[in-house]
Chains A and B, each alone.
Chain A
């Protein structure tokens, strides 16, 4: 059974700091991995999608890496800002011989960036 773990559960940093959020998964047979952001009381916003054949994806100040063999992904946030404060969720899509396996989520890392 696929399990996704995110460490740490919560993180508080001063503005301007570079930071890394971690995600690990137990079954390397994934189709892709997706990072989301969730603001309080809101839905999930997709940040980055990494296919199983890729090593990393970048969008602005965000960089996500994937090491499928070791079951790990990291989300790197450069020069953090108070507006980055949110919960960050990692999800892996199972590979059932095709693209439409279901997403399995971690419980998230709650990030607080202090001005």
Chain B
């Protein structure tokens, strides 16, 4: 699993509440990513980070923000959760020394009611 831990693994929250998902890596890789996976859409990139305090938007970034204050942690925040953000969220890293191979965490299943 390339030392990637996502927390929480499951969460149910109410519409309008803020939610923060955490991704933790143990190997100090520079690049980290947040994806969401939905039936019919596959995996889509939300945000990514290329270093501490360096982040950029992906394909579906509206309604999400991210922060990376330490190399090992990449946080995804839903400022005000909506039902359309019910999804499975995956964190990933890229390992440059292995030809830029991507490894994924186990996912967080988020339900917004």
Chain B residue contacts of A89, Cβ below 8 A: 42-43
Cα of A43 to Cα of B89 in the assembled complex, Å: 10
Interface majority SS on B: helix, strand, loop or mixed? strand
**A31 B100 Cβ-Cβ under 8 A:** yes
- Pick the contact of B42: A31, A93, A108 (CB < 8 A): A108
* B45 / chain A contacts, CB cutoff of 8 Å: 102-103
Given A34-B102, A43-B105, A103-B45, 14 more A-B residue pairs with CB atoms under 8 Å apart are A32-B100, A42-B107, A43-B1, A43-B90, A43-B106, A44-B92, A45-B104, A46-B104, A93-B100, A99-B94, A99-B96, A100-B94, A100-B100, A102-B48
Query: Which residues from chain A sit less than 8 Å from chain B, CB to CB?
Result: 31-32, 34, 36, 42-46, 49, 51, 89, 91, 93, 99-100, 102-103, 105-108
